[in-house]
Structures are given as C-alpha cells and as structure tokens.
Structure 1
Amino acid sequence: MTREISPEWKALLSELERRREIALASGGPERIAREHKYDRSTARERIAKISDPGTFLEIGTFVTTPTEDGSLLASTFVCGLTEIDGRPVAIGAEDYSVEGGGTGVHLARYKGGWGGFIEEFAIGYKVPLVMLINGVGGSVILQDQIGYPELQSANPTYPMFDLLEQVPVLAAVLGPTAGSSAARAHISHFSVMTSDNGCLFAGGPPVVKQALGLDIDKFALGGVAVHTRASGLIDNHADNEDAALAQIKQVLAYLPDNVSTRPAVQHEWRANDQEDLLTIVSPTLRRAYDVHALVRCLVDQDTFFEIAPDYGRSLRTGFARIEGHTIGILASDARFVAGSLDVQSSLKQAKFVELCDRFHIPIAYLVDVPGFLVGPKAEEAGVLKFGAMALRAIQQAKVPVITVQVRRSYGLGGVATGSRNPMSIRLVWPSAAWGDMPLEGGVEAAFRAQLDAAPPERRAELKAQLTQRFEEQTSIWRAVENFGAEEMIDPRDTRKYLARLIKLAYRKTLET
C-alpha cells in the first residue's frame, strides 16, 4: 500500500535532494574531470575505494563552501563513519576539486583535517582514524569569508595529538598538499604518499618563488624522494592512490581498534623452512646478508610489511605475524653503514618502538650492530643525541622486547637493542659477538702507544698477540656460562622461542 506524502513533506524532501546533488557534485564536472585526468579521485571516490561496499555513513553532507556569485558549492572536506574489513573506522578526506580542499576556516566548527568533528568522533568512540590528504591547507578565499585575520596561535589543535595516544591514526597523501594539510600527514602513526601525484611542503612552488626567487618543480620540492628518503616526514611510498589505499588497509590490519584492545589474531598461517636460516646468515662477521630474507624466514609466510624502507636503511622496521600474532620487527641491516645506528635509523627506531608500545605489540629485535655511526659528519649531525632517543624508547617500552643476537652488538648501539623490563629476554646465536667495542678497534685504541713504539716489522705481530689475549677473555661462551644472556639457541629454534613468548605476552592483562 502506497501512502500519499503531504505537499509540505514533498517540498522539504525535494530541497533535501537538491542539496544532496550539490554535495555529491563536488567541485563540478570540469574540476572532477581535471582530477581524473591526473589519475586522482574525488574525496568520496577515495572513501568508496577503501571502504567495505555500502558502509560509508557520511556526516556533514550539506556543509557548503562560499563562492563569489553566492551559489552553493560542496564542502572541501568529506567525513563520516565507515567500515574497513569489517571494522568501524572514522574517515576524513580533503576534496581537491573544491577550492583545493582548503581547511574550512569559514565554518562555525571544522569538520576535520586540523582538529574538528571527525577527530573528536574518533577519540570519542575509540575507533581508528584514516585521513585521505590532498589539500592546500589555508585558503585566502575561505579566509576572506571570516572578515578579519585570525591569530594562528589561538587556533586549537585538539584532539590531533590526543588521538595519537588513544587510537591508530593513518594518513595517505594522494596529491599536492601544503601548509596545515602537509603537517597533518605527519601527525599520524603511519603515512604513505603516492609517487605519481603525491607531494607536500610547508609552502608550494609559488610561495618559494615569492620568498626566495627560486623556480622549483613541486616534486623536486616535496615529492616522495624528498620525504621518504631525506626528511623522513612520510613513511612509505606507493605507485598510485589504489596502492596507497591498499597499504593503509594492510597496516590497519596489524593494529587494534584502540589502546584498550590487542591486535586481532589470525588463526590461519603458514611457517617457512627454518633450515634456510643457516644459508641466509653467515657466521663470518664481515660477510653481509639479506636481512629481508632473514625476517621473511622467521615470520609467518607473506606477513612482513616494512615501514619506512627508504629512510634510515641500516635498521629495518615493520609489522609481521608469528603464528597469527602481530609482532613488531626491528632488524639491523649490515648492507648500509655496516648496520650502525645513525641519526635517521635512531629516529626511525624511536618512532616505531613507541608505536608498538602504544598498541601493546611485542617487539623482536634482530641485532647485528657495530654501534653508533662514527666520524665527523655523524658527530656534527648529533648522532649521540638522536641515538639517546632510540635507546630511551626501547628501554622505557612496557611491551616485551625479545632481542635475538644474530651477530654483533657493541657499545651504546648495543644498549639500544634491548630492554630490561621483566618480560624481555635475550636469545643468542652461536654466531654472536659483543662487548664495549670491536676487539680490533679496541686493541688499537687501548695500546696505541705500545703499538706505535714497536718496530714496524713487529707491529702486526704484537697486535695479533694482544687481540688473541682479549679474545680469550671476551668469549661469548663465557658470558653465557655466567648467565650474561638468557639463552643460547640454534638459529633454527628462533621462531619456536618467539612464538611461545609472543603468545605469552598476548595472555597478559592489558594495562592502559
């Protein structure tokens, strides 16, 4: 039976649909076509790509953006509640086709992007927040609508930083991004940027031209090569926006909904052949090995997701699973600066350890570190200052840190690879070597006067004698005999130990 709708309701619903059409039209056909020409999508198209079909519940649909002729234009920011792989997620997306996706300074309340509704929604319901970023930050046109200049120090940032302590925050930079939008990308636990369109900067090429008289391409100024390799502002890069959104989904799958829960356990997994470990890693200290192959062998098949692969490459970080349980992986990579901790890798370690600690993810550290990077450039860069940050992060972590001593561990760099909390443990391979410093350099430093005083033809012989003497005193077998490390293991048993300890950690009552 069809019921007749009253004229009053028809008029109201007609106006509702008219305004919905305006909202769904984004910046209009021409601007949408321009975005599609560059293989970029609108905000709603991006949300549809990452969301489970039919789950996006938009909030703030009918917010408008001012125009010169007074006509209605869609919002610069689209947000709401969605589901990703069956999990509720708060999501916000800047729409570059509408005034460059500028922050809604003209509104009584921001919808999101620099504090505002969707961020408050995420922290209120304790659900993850996904930000799809492609905006100009501030906009002169939108600022003009206020009628007076805002004092920027008066603008609140709540709850952007509070969110980082409560729920996972993931960001994808999918096109040109400047100002506050660019900074917002880094205020996250994980960020990814596209190689084809992604670029971000405090001020774009026109601002640089005005300020410095320098003509520069937007990708040379702030593309993926700049921010994933040099600045470290962005963690990962992806070829295009589909690949970037796929990475967001991958990382989210390793994380819990909030700090009061643990990551979900996968009940189907496959192990690799642990015999391969003996061919991947050579006991010869000077022979480099493929640390990615080592990690992939130890963890469940096809589960290692590396974070920040192009930044601080002497240390590899990422998520994986062992018997279906999420684990954070840190692994020295001797192929770069011999595995030393430098400024970049120290910052990378500090950030990743804090992320794991925040969301109750146990850590496995595969160690082969000669210490902190040495030399005048390292000292000028403040390697010890930033190295102390890496050391502090892991020493203060409340989650278990399972240190697997694969080969070397010297000096303060070695201190930064383990934790003394009661749940942490050190597993030692027979290929390990450790001490205050490598013997060769230590003998040279301690006995330089004696070595220099020896006849040239006897110098090498004397150094060999001194080295042999100290080798007998620094045998790792002596250290193990005196319980200087908890357990010496066959490398092929590493996964077995990790699995038992990780599952034990997952049984522990959460303390938040």
Structure 2
Amino acid sequence: MAIDPKLLEELKNRREKARKAGGEAKLEKRKAKGLLSARERLERFFEPGTFQEFSMHASHQCTNFGMAKVELPTDGVITGTGYVDGRPVAAYSQDFTVGGGALGSIHAKKICDLMEFAHENGMPVVGVNDSGGARIQEGVDSLSGYGKVFFKNVYLSGVVPQVAVIAGPCAGGAAYSPALTDFLIMTRENANMFICGPGVIQSATGEKASLDQFATAAAHASVSGNIHLIADDDGHAMDLAGELLSYLPSNNLQDPPHEPTEQVSQGKDPGMNDLVPGDSKTPFDVHEVIQRLVDDANYFEIMPDFARSLVTCFARIDGIVVGIIANQPMVKAGTLDIDSSDKGARFIRTCNIYNIPLVNLVDVPGFMPGLAQERGGIIRHGAKLLFAYAASTVPKITLIMRKAYGGAYLAMCSSDLGADQVFAWPTAEIAVMGAEGAVKVLYRKELEKAEDPKAREEELRAEYRDKFASPYQAAEKAMITDVIEPSESRAVISLALRNTLNKRDSRPPKKHGNIPL
C-alpha cells in the first residue's frame, strides 16, 4: 500500500514552514539590506547538496507577557552538517527573523546537540551569531541554555576547530560563546558585539560612548583585539570561514591538510637578498619576506589590524601548512609589547593544538619600554609568549633576520625555548642589548675622555657587533644551526620542515601548565 498522500503533504508543509520560519516579509526586508538569511549563510558555506539539517521541526511557543502565544519555527536557529572542500563540518546559524534569534532552551539544545555530534565525529564547528540575546520570556531556562553552550565551547576547545561568525547583534552574555572559540570573524556592517550598551555604560559610569567606539568590527579588530578577521559582508564572512578551515585539520588527532610537493625547493631566491637594508635601523616590511618564503606568495593573516608590530598568519611552504610569527620592523620597530605578546601567544597555542608547525621570523630590538607597559603588566603578558613557545611540541623553525636582543630574543623562540632548528642571516645581531646601548654602558668613561666621542662611539659599536653580537658567535656555541644567505631561506626552511614533521616530544604527565593569564 502506498503512503497516505496527506502525510506527504503535511511533511512538505512543515518543511516549507521551517524554511520560511520568519515569514516572507522579514526575509525580503533582510534582502533589501543586503543581508543573507540564516539558511542562505549556510548554503553559501557548504558545498551544494551536502547540507543535512538537524532538528528542523524543533519549535517553541512563546507567550509575550500576557499576549497571544507566538510560534517560533526552528526555535530561531538552523543546525546541521555539510561539506567544505570535501570535509564534513558542523554549523549553526541563528535566525534573527524568528523571535530576534533570541536563545531559549530548545535553541540552546539544538546548538549543544550539534556540538556534541561534532565532538563525537571529529569535525569543526562554525557558528553564525545573529541574535537579540537571551529570550526574556524563558527566564532562567534561557540563562541555563547559555551556560550549556559555554560549557560545550570549552569542552570542544582543543579538540575540534571552532569558528564564530558575528553577522548581526551579539550582546551581553551572547558574546561569550564566540569569545570561547578559536577564531572570530565579524562583518564590517550590520553587526555589533558588546557586554554593556551605551545606555548601560552611561547609567553606570556617566561615560557617553557610541557603539562605533567599542562594538563594531573595526573597534574589535584594531583596539580590543576581540576578533580575528573583518568580512565585507555575509557572503565574504562565510568564504573566510571556509578559507580558514583549509589550513586546519578536522580535529586534534589529525595532521593539518598538508599537500607536500614531490620536490623540496633547492634553488636560491636572489630577490630575498635585495630586501635586506644595509643599515640595521632601516625598517623593511616583513610581509615581503613572507611572500617570498611561502607558496605562490599566498598567506592568510590572522588579526592583521591588532598589535601590528607582530604578524601572525597561516601559509604553505612546499605544500606544508605552517603558522608564521614574524616581527614587523615597520611598526614600533618590531618591538614586543602587551598586545603583541597576547596575540603571539594565542596564535602559537592554537597552532600547537592543531599540530601546525611554527616558523618564526625574528627582527626584534626588545620589549617596549614605558610606564604604561610596565603598569599594564608587560612582565605577565610577555611571559605568555615565553610559556606558549616552551609548552608547544610542534616543529619550531626560527630564522633570525636582523636584531634579536635580550629577553625578546628568547621570547621569539630561541633554541633554549625549544626551537628545533635556528638559522640566521649574516645581518643578524644576537646580544643582550643593541650596540648603541651596550657601548654607552660598557665604554662610558672611555667615551668621556675621547677626542671625538661620536667617531669613537661608532668604532666601538662596530667592535661590539663583531665581538658580542655576530651570528657566528652564537654559531660557535651551537646556539644556532647555521648562518645562511637570505636567498637560501625558503629552501632551508622547507627542508627543515620536512625533517621535523614526524617530531615526537613527550612531556611530564600533568593536567596542564599554569600560563600567566
């Protein structure tokens, strides 16, 4: 006997209702603003025909403070799995057209169930946040829902990659779930993220502040450092999420998606020699070095607008996925400060979780001096960078390009901090401090007596560099692996990566170290 047509019709109607959950009018209104619907965001993200929805028929009837009950199809969130670049990924997308995308108990259960599925099956989780916050009508149940989501975020942390996309409002407690993920992407327009809004701030402190000052993508990317990437629009945000995942394994038990070339680079790149200024004080853009090191000059920078004296990015070198941490001489002379230490430590630990080798490009004159830095806790923040490198067990290759002074030399992954191989250009200067400061400390009395103090100081600086800062001094003490031409850098680093991919580093049994947070 054939199935009753009425049952098929009911199924069709229910599916259609779920697909147009917020109604045609609301969907059209979003379209007019240039926004994608919750479903369209997932359709943009996944390969066509691969999305398998979870709990489509879950819904909730909400009573609006004595008014008639309002049905919330899908309970304001779309969840499911699909394929991205041939790999399964779990994703959810909050639907602002359904009750403002507010989170209630069923809404939270759908997200948590999806995250548990991702954990059990070892696949990344991408969440699109577009919600008015907690569903007030559900009271403590709504708060409980957020707590369960936060717990799952932490439970999955270090197991599968988690990416949050902020594509609409994300206020109050709702902001903490994205903050617990590995990476945050936020659209330039139509999105904001904050704990307390302008009204609350003014009421509590008397300060007048607009959302533009603290809640936008621009503010979070450049000032607070809360997000990693800015997207031009919804579609671009989903594309960025997919590109980011292309550098990450599906889970912590897998290797990154390496695509090793049959041949390792062996030739020289004369153009690299031309990048290095003759004067060590002359800045150069480290992005140009990165472009010459990596395949097709293609790299994916993380937090490009925050703590710009340190560059962090993903790339491939002869097909091997790497995380690159590089001092940027064009900004603050490449010094390490509070923000760059936090940025670097976070990136290092993320790479370590997902078995991504680290390549460190060093040109650092030291930690940033100043009262604000000292009072702000530069010791504590700088120690995060030391801790992150020392605790990481992935392959670590360091290239000292020019300056590497004092504690900053150590903090950029010297051999003592666990670098597997350390290379230096002939232009490298490795010392307790730079020649200018050292000469004034060591030869102060001699300079006072000199007939021409400036000329004598220049002579002493050159002598200091030769005796105490030359890379050959470090090489003689077996603190660096080799001194190489800049033109040899890509070939040398590529071979070093191949030789360390099978690295095994056993550590003492413990729950975890106590990083200075």
Q: Structure 1 length normalisation: TM-score?
A: 0.90
Secondary structure of the residue that 2:439 maps to in structure 1? Answer: helix
Secondary structure of the residue that 2:90 maps to in structure 1? Answer: strand
Q: 1:290 to 1:506 in 2, by over 3 A?
A: same
Report the Cα offset of residue 299 of structure 1.
0.6
Aligned to 1:425: 421
Aligned to 1:460: 454
Select which of 193, 205, 213 maps to 2:186.
Answer: 193
Q: Which amino acid aligns with 1:70?
A: K
Identity of aligned residues (%): 30
Report the Cα offset of residue 357 of structure 1.
0.6
Select which of 251, 258, 264 maps to 2:257.
Answer: 264
Q: Which amino acid aligns with 1:414?
A: Y
Select which of 439, 443, 446 maps to 2:439.
Answer: 443
Q: 1:346 to 1:120 in 2, by over 3 A?
A: same
Q: 1:18 to 1:208 in 2, by over 3 A?
A: farther
Q: Is the Cα–Cα contact under 8 Å of residues 410 and 417 in structure 2 kept in the other structure?
A: no
Q: 1:154 to 1:78 in 2, by over 3 A?
A: closer
Answering whether residue 132 of structure 2 is matched by residue 139 of structure 1, we say no
Report the Cα offset of residue 32 of structure 1.
1.7
Select which of 243, 247, 265 maps to 1:250.
Answer: 243
Q: How does 1:35-434 map to 2 (within 5 A)?
A: 35-68=30-63, 69-74=68-73, 75-105=75-105, 107=106, 110-112=109-111, 116-143=112-139, 157-208=150-201, 211=204, 216-266=209-259, 274-418=269-413, 419-420=415-416, 424-434=420-430
Q: Which amino acid aligns with 1:470?
A: Y
Report the Cα offset of residue 291 of structure 1.
1.0
- In structure 1, distance between residues paired with 2:291 and 2:205: 47
Aligned residues: 498
Q: 1:302 to 1:483 in 2, by over 3 A?
A: closer
How big is the alpha-carbon RMSD for the aligned residues of Structure 1 and Structure 2? 2.8
- In structure 2, distance between residues paired with 1:470 and 1:164: 48
- In structure 1, distance between residues paired with 2:343 and 2:204: 32
Aligned to 2:512: none
Q: 1:44 to 1:209 in 2, by over 3 A?
A: farther
1:70-114: CA deviations, max 9, x gaps? 343222111111111111001111111112211123x396211xx
Report the Cα offset of residue 15 of structure 1.
3.2
Report the Cα offset of residue 350 of structure 1.
0.3
Report the Cα offset of residue 510 of structure 1.
9.5
Q: Is the Cα–Cα contact under 8 Å of residues 410 and 438 in structure 1 kept in the other structure?
A: yes
Q: 1:476 to 1:97 in 2, by over 3 A?
A: same
Q: 1:384 to 1:237 in 2, by over 3 A?
A: same
- In structure 2, distance between residues paired with 1:83 and 1:476: 49
- In structure 2, distance between residues paired with 1:25 and 1:471: 71
Q: 1:469 to 1:507 in 2, by over 3 A?
A: closer
Q: Is the Cα–Cα contact under 8 Å of residues 430 and 474 in structure 2 kept in the other structure?
A: no
Q: Which amino acid aligns with 1:4?
A: A
Q: Which moved more, 1:207-216 or 1:400-409?
A: 207-216
Structure 2: any 5+ residue segments left out of the alignment? 508-517
Q: Which moved more, 1:70-79 or 1:253-262?
A: 70-79
Report the Cα offset of residue 356 of structure 1.
0.8
- In structure 2, distance between residues paired with 1:264 and 1:93: 26
Aligned to 2:514: none
- In structure 2, distance between residues paired with 1:108 and 1:455: 78
Q: Is the Cα–Cα contact under 8 Å of residues 150 and 180 in structure 2 kept in the other structure?
A: no
Q: Which moved more, 1:62-71 or 1:293-302?
A: 62-71
Secondary structure of the residue that 1:485 maps to in structure 2? Answer: coil
Q: Which moved more, 1:213-222 or 1:333-342?
A: 213-222
Q: Is the Cα–Cα contact under 8 Å of residues 290 and 297 in structure 2 kept in the other structure?
A: no
- In structure 2, distance between residues paired with 1:316 and 1:345: 9
Structure 1: any 5+ residue segments left out of the alignment? none
1:144-165: CA deviations, max 9, x gaps? 8x5xx96799757322112121
Q: Is the Cα–Cα contact under 8 Å of residues 26 and 42 in structure 1 kept in the other structure?
A: no
Q: Which amino acid aligns with 1:260?
A: L
Q: Is the Cα–Cα contact under 8 Å of residues 394 and 503 in structure 2 kept in the other structure?
A: no
- In structure 1, distance between residues paired with 2:182 and 2:230: 15
Q: Is the Cα–Cα contact under 8 Å of residues 22 and 72 in structure 1 kept in the other structure?
A: no
Q: 1:19 to 1:234 in 2, by over 3 A?
A: same
1:401-438: CA deviations, max 9, x gaps? 11101000001111011154776111010010110111
- In structure 2, distance between residues paired with 1:151 and 1:91: 21
Q: Which amino acid aligns with 1:130?
A: V
Q: Is the Cα–Cα contact under 8 Å of residues 228 and 311 in structure 1 kept in the other structure?
A: yes
Q: Which moved more, 1:57-66 or 1:430-439?
A: 57-66
Q: Is the Cα–Cα contact under 8 Å of residues 104 and 111 in structure 1 kept in the other structure?
A: no
- In structure 1, distance between residues paired with 2:27 and 2:38: 10
- In structure 1, distance between residues paired with 2:442 and 2:417: 34
Q: 1:138 to 1:269 in 2, by over 3 A?
A: farther
Q: Which moved more, 1:182-191 or 1:154-163?
A: 154-163
Q: Is the Cα–Cα contact under 8 Å of residues 343 and 386 in structure 1 kept in the other structure?
A: yes
Secondary structure of the residue that 1:188 maps to in structure 2? Answer: coil
- In structure 1, distance between residues paired with 2:218 and 2:164: 18
Q: Which amino acid aligns with 2:230?
A: H
Secondary structure of the residue that 1:159 maps to in structure 2? Answer: helix
- In structure 2, distance between residues paired with 1:229 and 1:109: 31
Select which of 470, 475, 478 maps to 1:480.
Answer: 475
1:285-304: CA deviations, max 9, x gaps? 11111211110011100431
Q: Structure 2 length normalisation: TM-score?
A: 0.89
Q: 1:483 to 1:490 in 2, by over 3 A?
A: same
Q: Which amino acid aligns with 1:136?
A: G
Q: Is the Cα–Cα contact under 8 Å of residues 350 and 394 in structure 1 kept in the other structure?
A: yes
Q: Which amino acid aligns with 2:114?
A: I
Q: Is the Cα–Cα contact under 8 Å of residues 281 and 294 in structure 1 kept in the other structure?
A: no
Secondary structure of the residue that 1:111 maps to in structure 2? Answer: helix
Select which of 476, 497, 503 maps to 1:502.
Answer: 497
